[in-house]
Structure 1
Amino acid sequence: MQVLVIGGTGTLGRQIAKKAIDAGYQVRCMVRKPRSASFLQEWGCELTQGDLLKQDSIEYALKGVDAVIDSSTSRPEDPKSVYETDWDGKLNLFRACENIGVKRVVFLSLLAAEKFRNVPLMDIKYCTERLLEDSSFDYTILKGAAFMQGVIGQFAIPILDSQPVWISGTTGPIAYMNTQDMARFAVAALSREATVRKSFPVVGPKAWNADELVKLCEKYSNKTARVLRVSPFLIDIAKTMVSFFEPTVNVAERLSFADVSGSGITLDSSMEESYRVFGLDPSETTEIESYVKEYYDLILKRLREMETDLNKEQRKKLPF
């Protein structure tokens, strides 16, 4: 089977491409900048240059393809609105699939998107889900909550660097999942008929709130966190101010995602059916405790090695 991965250079997309290669699929990745995606080629992926805002380039990438896995989303550095980069891009992708005759689509969505229509990215995910359900595609929708990789940037690194951890609103528990585990579900869907024209939650083993994550990072970093709680009112002011300027519209839309993380709503779901239908073993899913511990073990080891090397260089300069 020839699989086209959309968003292959992203945090999740690259894991999907690697898992698909390991599973024996022929994998093609459509990327905007092939030079920055050379690592995918080294793994065995075929690269094709394309852009979701250019339908002809999508149709070119789809030639000979049996299935599409779409993990794409706009990036923080994109100046345009996500309604242009994401929604228009999705419409172009599905039109191209219809024109070429590709029926199998695996779409990576977000849990509880229907509850946050005021957040642009969630609104687009929700509308894409509805679009697929009303289509003739053999789709599978995977609804994730958040990735463990985000915990590192939001909590682990600031605490290690003695920087403040910013928390907004009343944070609800979130069932973070490792992107490698999410990728296992995306690839497994390709060979599971029972997943066709269905939606499934794909979340981590346990939901964690912000305070619990802070304590976890303190435990494995041996540092005390400095937590700063930001009023949702201040974030609303920031969103309003940046939205006045067109080049910062993407910033305003990103800030609005704080409405999700600070809503107090639990982003979690039972995974019993998902594991059963996809034929995956829940015991192989990464737990956030081991993920954070492994990160700190690796980073602290490297810091000690750097300190040792520095001491060696300093000793070489001594006159005796």
Structure 2
Amino acid sequence: MTLLIVGATGTLGRQIAKHALDEGHTVRCLVRSFRRASFLKEWGAELIPGDLLYPETLPAAFEGVTAVIDAATARPTDSATLRQVDWDGKVSLIQAAKMAGVERFIFFSILNTDQYPHVPLMEIKRCTELFLEEAGLNYTVLRTAGFLQGLIGQYAIPILEKQAVWVMGNTSPIAYIDTQDLAKFAVRSLAVPETVGQTYPVVGTRAWSAYEIIRLCERLSGQEAKIWRMPGPLLGGVQSAARFFEWGLDLADRLAFMEVIASGKPLTADMAKTYETFGLSANDMTTLESYLQEYFNRIMRKMKEVEYERQKAKEKAASKRKKQSLFK
């Protein structure tokens, strides 16, 4: 099967590309920069130039493509806005896929999109799901919550570096998933006919609150966290202020999503039907504990190696000074 992966340089997209290649699929990646995506070519993927913001660049990428796995999303560092990428870009992608007659289209959404119509990202995801369904494609929607990979920068690194960890509002428990596990479901769905025209939750083994994650990081690192709490009203004030400026509109849209995280409502779901349909089980999933344990073991080992080398250098320098003093 020839797959077109969109967003293949991202945290999730690269795992999808790798897993698809490992499964023997022919992988084509739509990329804006060949230099940034060079690692995908080294893995064995074909790189095709294209950009969701420029619909005219998309048709060439679909030649000979059997299925599309869409893992693209606007990044905070992008010049394009959330609406340009996650709505306008996705509409163009879906239309191009329909014109090309692709057999399957896999889309990633978020849990509980229908509960937050005033949160731009949630509403965009909901509308994209509807647009995809109405397009008449053989689609599968995978709704997730958050990635384990994001916890490193949010919690682990600040705690190790004795910096503040921000906690907002009532902190919703979130069932974070490893992107490698999510990639398995995405690629597996292509081989399971029952997933056509269906939507599935795909989340981690349990939901964790921010404070539970902080306590776990403290235990694994041996460090005490510095916690800064941001009240919900303050977050809302920042969001409102950002909307007064044109440059702040996309920032305000992103801050609006923080309301979901700070609402106290769990972002998790029953995975029983998903496991049964995809032929996987909870035992196949990476737990948050094991993921952070592996990370901290690796980092602590590296820190010990660095400290050992530093101590050796100090001893060598001291020995050299001692020898020099004997000849004075």
Regarding TM over 0.5, the answer is yes
**TM-fit CA distance, 1:78:** 1.9
2:11 alignment partner AA = T
Contact 1:167 1:210 in 2 (8 A): yes
2:325 equivalent in structure 1: none
2:264 equivalent in structure 1: 264
**TM-fit CA distance, 1:239:** 1.4
1:49 equivalent in structure 2: 49
2:148 equivalent in structure 1: 148
1:278 alignment partner AA = F
Q: Is 1:311 the equivalent of 2:289?
A: no
**TM-fit CA distance, 1:244:** 2.4
1:196 equivalent in structure 2: 196
Question: Partners in 2 of 1:11 and 1:117 — Cα distance?
Answer: 27
After superposition, the C-alpha distances for 1:203-239 in whole angstroms (9 at most, x for unaligned) are: 0001111111111111101111121110111111211
After superposition, the C-alpha distances for 1:90-145 in whole angstroms (9 at most, x for unaligned) are: 11101111222113100011111111222211111111111122221000000001
Structure 1 moving runs of 4+ over 4 Å: none
Question: Partners in 2 of 1:145 and 1:138 — Cα distance?
Answer: 23
2:115 equivalent in structure 1: 115
Contact 1:81 1:253 in 2 (8 A): no
1:315 alignment partner AA = E
2:212 equivalent in structure 1: 212
Q: The residue matched to 1:28 in structure 2 has which SS? A: strand
1:18 alignment partner AA = K
Question: Partners in 2 of 1:136 and 1:232 — Cα distance?
Answer: 41
Question: Partners in 1 of 2:206 and 2:215 — Cα distance?
Answer: 16
TM-score with structure 2 length normalisation? 0.95
Contact 1:159 1:218 in 2 (8 A): yes
Q: Is 1:173 the equivalent of 2:173?
A: yes
1:19 equivalent in structure 2: 19
Which residues in structure 2 correspond to 1:1-320 (within 5 Å)?
1-318=1-318, 319-320=321-322
Contact 1:79 1:247 in 2 (8 A): no
2:216 alignment partner AA = L
Question: Partners in 1 of 2:185 and 2:236 — Cα distance?
Answer: 36
Contact 1:172 1:267 in 2 (8 A): yes
1:158 alignment partner AA = P
What number of residue pairs does the alignment pair up?
320
Question: Partners in 1 of 2:132 and 2:254 — Cα distance?
Answer: 25
2:250 alignment partner AA = N
1:2 alignment partner AA = T
2:161 alignment partner AA = D
TM-score with structure 1 length normalisation? 0.97
Question: Partners in 1 of 2:87 and 2:26 — Cα distance?
Answer: 27
Question: Partners in 1 of 2:102 and 2:124 — Cα distance?
Answer: 22
**Which moves more between the two structures, 243-252 or 159-168?**
243-252
**Which moves more between the two structures, 77-86 or 227-236?**
77-86
2:326 equivalent in structure 1: none
Contact 1:80 1:249 in 2 (8 A): no
Contact 1:104 1:137 in 2 (8 A): yes
Determine which structure has more spread, i.e. the larger CA radius of gyration.
2
Contact 1:171 1:263 in 2 (8 A): yes
Question: Partners in 1 of 2:209 and 2:25 — Cα distance?
Answer: 38
After superposition, the C-alpha distances for 1:233-271 in whole angstroms (9 at most, x for unaligned) are: 111121122222223322222211110100111111111
Question: Partners in 2 of 1:170 and 1:65 — Cα distance?
Answer: 45
Structure 1 unmatched runs, 5+: none
Q: The residue matched to 2:127 in structure 1 has which SS? A: helix
Contact 2:95 2:135 in 1 (8 A): no
Structure 2 unmatched runs, 5+: 323-328
**Which moves more between the two structures, 272-281 or 258-267?**
272-281
